[in-house]
Amino acid sequence: MGDYVTPGEEPQEPGIYRSEQMCLAQLYLQSDASYQCVAELGELGLVQFRDVSLNPDVSSFQRKYVNEVRRCDEMERKLRFLEREIKKDQIPMLDTGENPDAPLPREMIDLEATFEKLENELREVNKNEETLKKNFSELTELKHILRKTQTFFEEAGTGEMLPPHEDMIASSAENSGIGDVLSADEEELSARFSDAMSPLKLQLRFVAGVIQRERLPAFERLLWRACRGNVFLRTSEIDDVLNDTVTGDPVNKCVFIIFFQGDQLKTKVKKICEGFRATLYPCPDTPQERREMSIGVMTRIEDLKTVLGQTQDHRHRVLVAASKNVRMWLTKVRKIKSIYHTLNFFNIDVTQKCLIAEVWCPIAELDRIKMALKRGTDESGSQVPSILNRMETHEAPPTYNKTNKFTKGFQNIVDAYGIATYREINPSPYTMISFPFLFAVMFGDMGHGVIMFLAALFFILKEKQLEAARIKDEIFQTFFGGRYVIFLMGVFSIYTGFMYNDIFSKSVNAFGSSWTNSIRHEYIDDVLEKGEKASEAQWMLVPELAYDGNPYPIGVDPVWNLAEGNKLSFLNSMKMKMSVLFGIAQMTFGVLLSYKNFTYFKSDLDVKYMFIPQMIFLSSIFIYLCIQILAKWLFFGSAPGSVLGYTYPGTNCAPSLLIGLINMFMMKSRNAGFVDEEGNIVPQCWLSTWYPGQSFFETIFVLVAIACVPVMLFAKPYYLWKEEKERREGGHRQLATIEIVLVILALVQVPIMLFAKPWLLYQREKKQTRYSTLGGSGGGASTSQSVRADIAQDDAEVVHAPEQTPKPAGHGHGHGDGPLEMGDVMVYQAIHTIEFVLGCVSHTASYLRLWALSLAHAQLSDVLWTMVFRNAFVLDGYAGAVATYILFFIFGSLSVFILVLMEGLSAFLHALRLHWQAKKTTVVTFYGGLGYEFAPFSFERILAEEREAEENL
């Protein structure tokens, strides 16, 4: 679009129609007041800081406040640690929604000390608790080992040490295919181990421990193979669920005891246990020692329970106290961090006492920004005022559209296509009407519209409670965020359903049908008496006899709901023409809006050689087609008569607009009128011209439309090239004039150098005796004043500077103030011309999706009624009552999930597509979409983004 209009020349318009007027300004803040001033600007949220021109060569690690940002990161890490510990204990965190002010810099030290103390205390408590839990788990395992081993030895003492069915090694060996090794009979095996377990065999040793249950089979097999069957293993499951001593997770474990002989087997057994992460515990040899050790273990377990409970209570108290403040602390730390991060965008002057920044801000909010700076300066106690100095620039400002909770959803839809160029017309106000309306054209059903309307109304009425609930479901957030869009879609769907006279595929006869029964009752009775199936009989109402000539007052006549033969044909014709009307109307409206943009940006070339040819092109073909559609609806009825000077025989000769449009482009000769000179209907009368001079005018329309294409393609580039040529020639003429003036001045300088100085000395000597100093007022000089603050001396002085004329803005031709690149201009113009011409044709056809989706929705609703709910009325008695409830539940569920949700989503996406096409057709006109969004420094936005990031984790 080129350079924007100079801010001082911009006309005042409501902010909803165009983006807010922006200006580039410089902030001069005293160092001591900078923190408070930036904090006030963050609360206000109307200033966007730049980091482009003031610090181009300074990396992020060389900024002044990097250390403060790192300290804030460290505090945030500690708070996240606290938050994790609180969530681990399932303690609710108090979140009152309070928005505390940004803490002062000196409060940062107190916060750091508080967080450091809490973190150290929690880590120490966690470490002690982990140690206590580990000791408790080990003592619990030792308790089970002592209990189980005592049982093993008691069984050995009674001669029941190794029953055949408890030989775990043997069973695992059989399962692993090594049963041949154990070919000895059970008596020999039992006798061998009984001898080995005899008290007289002192060389027998054993180890005891615990192992996870799922590792036991592999442990048994490896133990057998590695020790060649020279060990004896007894196992027993622990009924209680124990905690792993390393991870703390609940696990199922087994107690095992292994008997062996010799030091070599002992080494192998311990290595195998270590490999399977089995824990070995000391186990005394004598029963008396085992009992004493068991009593000591139980005593220690009870003591550990007491200490562990006290530790957990202390940890819980610390976390409960922290949970009341952790959300507020997070808010404070994030505000401090964002302030210091923003201060890094400032440039520091040589005195190290003044910070300078460049900001974008809305012109309408300058007073509020200045008041915020004054509050920040006063709160800091500084005596030097903060200065906000507006700058002249021709850089494109950011686009800032004010929104509220109602308009935000529609603004997001528009921004999805691209951020509007600065100060061009904002499509959002028009999208508030066009988007839900086009959706409703495809979705039109009063019943389904009421369901959508009530769902959106619930979201709106309960929005505060639902926002406080912080539901994280993505689908719910999508519907809740677009509640006002869904609300309007429901309202418009009720309206279009009323116009279609469609409520769950049924019609309502509110005003009385315009059609009457023209079939004789005798004929109907005769057909019924002959036994023909009434449901299969085809009845036709002839318009000349059945239609009373007065159309249904509003919407579609309910009689068409009974027309099974040609209902679809009638709705096809009506909705197809209606879709073409809506599509061309939206595209024409977009081109009309472009005129406002061109006049606003003072682009006369675009008005003359873009807007006017585009309107002529649209009018010659597409608006002419719309006029034909309206004329056919108004003039060509069921009754014969005279239409526009021609005799109209009846409905059979109603003009075919599609074939007529094709004949218009082919310039094909056609019959004039519907009847010949003798009054006979001409063949294919629907292809005849239907007003005098139609062929001539249509030929003119086609030729004018074709002539508009080269005008759109070449006229603007030609005049841009001509202006550039005149500008260059004007520069050469000025250069020649300057050369002549310089030659004359050089000739005049010769006598001046010879005689001027001696003459001046003579005059000074002559008047020396009466020389006096005179002062002039200089009132005729025009200067501008500016204020310069001297930070070192705490005062200010007025500096006079020559007035600078602002650089004139460009003309909005797309070439700016640099040299004209003719190739780029031609390519740019060719792309947009071709896109407009072809887009008018393709987008008009694309708007037929309104017709297709509307028919599909109506037919699917009719199928659902016919195939599901109508079957409930076939049955009588109690069966019919039960079937009615059941089938109504099925019908209602399918209507909500298929017709409202799925069909609604489909219509929503097609409405998005149609708006994208409308903007593509007028992308060179009223909607460029080449801007960038205004991103102010706002605590509210920063905190909302941080909270959203937390919820998405």
The pair of three-digit structure tokens given for residue 382, joined into one six-digit string: 């500084």
| Residue 828, both tokens | 């740019």
The structure tokens listed for 777 are 């007022």
Strand residue runs (E) in 644-754: 646-648
| pLDDT tens-digit series, residues 668-689 | 888 888 888 877 888 888 888 8
∠ CA 371-372-378, rounded to 5°: 90
What is the tens place of the pLDDT at every residue in 232-288? Answer: 888 888 887 777 766 667 888 888 888 888 888 888 888 999 898 888 888 887 888
User: Residue 769's pLDDT is what?
Assistant: 45
The dihedral region occupied by 159, where left means phi > 0, alpha psi between -120 and 50, and beta the remainder, is left
Residue 807 has pLDDT above 50, yes or no: no
Smallest CA-to-CA distance from 900 within 409, 444, 441 is with: 444
Q: Provide the β-strand partners of residue 800.
A: 785
The reported pLDDT for the residue numbered 179 is 36
Structure tokens at 481: 């965020």
Tell how strand 204-212 and strand 354-362 pair up: unpaired
Beta carbons of 545 and 590 less than 8 angstroms apart: no
User: Contact, 376 vs 386, CB < 8 A?
Assistant: yes
> What are φ and ψ of residue 7, in 5° steps?
-55, -35
Residue 555 has pLDDT above 60, yes or no: yes
Q: Which has the closest alpha carbon to 206: 157, 169, 258? A: 258
Distance of alpha carbon 217 from alpha carbon 165, whole angstroms: 16
**Which residues make beta-bridge pairs with 29?**
355
CA distances (Å), origin 835, targets 718, 745, 830, 831, 886: 20, 58, 8, 6, 55
* pLDDT score, position 160: 39
pLDDT reported for residue 689: 87
pLDDT in tens, 450-500: 999 999 999 999 988 888 887 878 888 889 989 999 999 999 999 999 999
Cα-trace Rg, the chain? 46
- Are 44 and 372 contacting, i.e. CB atoms less than 8 angstroms apart? yes
pLDDT of residue 196: 43
Say if residue 740's pLDDT is above 50.
yes
Q: What does the block give as tokens for 850? A: 């309104």
Res 736: pLDDT = 63
Provide the mean pLDDT of the chain: 80
Work out the average pLDDT over 181-187: 38
CA dihedral 622, 627, 631, 633 (to 10 degrees): 60
Q: Which helix (H) or strand (E) holds 29?
A: strand 22-30
Residue 878 has a pLDDT of: 84
pLDDT of 767 reads 63
Q: Extract the tokens encoding 455.
A: 């769902």
- At residue 307, φ and ψ (nearest 5 deg) are -65, -40
Q: Are 197 and 259 in contact, with CB atoms under 8 Å apart?
A: yes
Highest mean pLDDT among 22-31, 129-138, 348-357: 22-31
- What helix, strand, coil percent values describe the chain, rounded to 5? 60, 10, 30
Question: Can you give the pTM of this predicted structure?
Answer: 0.73
pLDDT in tens, 315-347: 899 999 998 889 899 999 999 999 999 998 888
The pLDDT assigned to 199 comes to: 45
Rounded to 10°, the helix 31-44/326-343 angle is 120
Which of 815 and 478 is assigned the larger pLDDT?
478
DSSP string, 448-473: HHHHHHHHHHHHHHTHHHHHHHT---
Quote the tokens at residue 297.
């273990």
Please, are residues 695 and 670 in contact by the beta-carbon 8 Å criterion? yes
Residue 926: CA count within 13 A, CB half-sphere: 22
Integer Cα distance of 886 and 881 in angstroms: 9
More confident residue, 821 or 664: 664
Read off the pLDDT band of 118 (50, 70, 90). Answer: very high
Residue 169's pLDDT is 37
575 burial (CB, 10 Å; 0-12 / 13-18 / 19+) is buried
Of 170 and 875, more confident = 875
Return the sign of the alpha-carbon dihedral for residues 314, 315, 318, 319.
negative
Q: Please name which of 318, 328, 333 lies closest in space to residue 91, comparing C-alpha atoms.
A: 318
Does pLDDT of 849 surpass 70? Answer: yes
Where do the DSSP E strands lie in 334-392? 347-348, 354-362, 387-391
Q: Which residues of 271-294 are buried (b: 16+ CB within 10 A; e: fewer)?
A: ebbeebebbbbebeeeeeebeebb
pLDDT category of residue 920 using cuts at 50, 70 and 90:
low
427-431: long-range pairs with CB below 8 Å, 24+: 427/919, 427/926, 427/927, 428/16, 428/401, 428/403, 429/16, 429/17, 430/589, 430/593, 431/915
Q: Residue 340 has what pLDDT?
A: 92
Which run of H or of E encompasses 30? strand 22-30
In this structure, which amino acid lies at residue 628? Q
Structure-block tokens of residue 866: 């016919």
pLDDT tens digits for range 55-73: 666 677 778 888 999 999 9
Determine how many CB atoms are found less than 10 A away from the CB of residue 301. 16
What pLDDT, on the 0 to 100 scale, is given for residue 945? Answer: 87
933 DSSP β-pair partners: 399
Of 243-247, 736-740, 768-772, give the lowest mean pLDDT range.
768-772
Lowest mean pLDDT among 215-224, 503-512, 727-736: 727-736
Q: 417 vs 16, 440, 443, 846, CA distance in Å? A: 18, 21, 23, 18
Beta bridge partners of 237: 254
Which residue is it, tokens 């009752």? Answer: 521
Q: 398 is written with which tokens? A: 């950011």
Rounded average pLDDT over 602-625: 90
Number of residues that this document lists for the chain: 953
Share of the chain above pLDDT 70, in %: 81
| % residues pLDDT > 90 (the chain) | 22
Selected residue with higher pLDDT from 215 and 793: 215
- What's the confidence (pLDDT) of residue 921? 54
| Three-state DSSP state, 209 | strand
What mean pLDDT do residues 95-116 have? 87
Residue 512 has pLDDT above 80, yes or no: yes
C-alpha closest to that of 934 among 337, 50, 344, 55: 50
Residues 6+ apart with CB under 8 A from 113: none
- Give the list of residues 6+ apart from residue 634 with CB closer than 8 angstroms, or none: none
Number of Cβ atoms within 10 Å of the Cβ of 36: 25
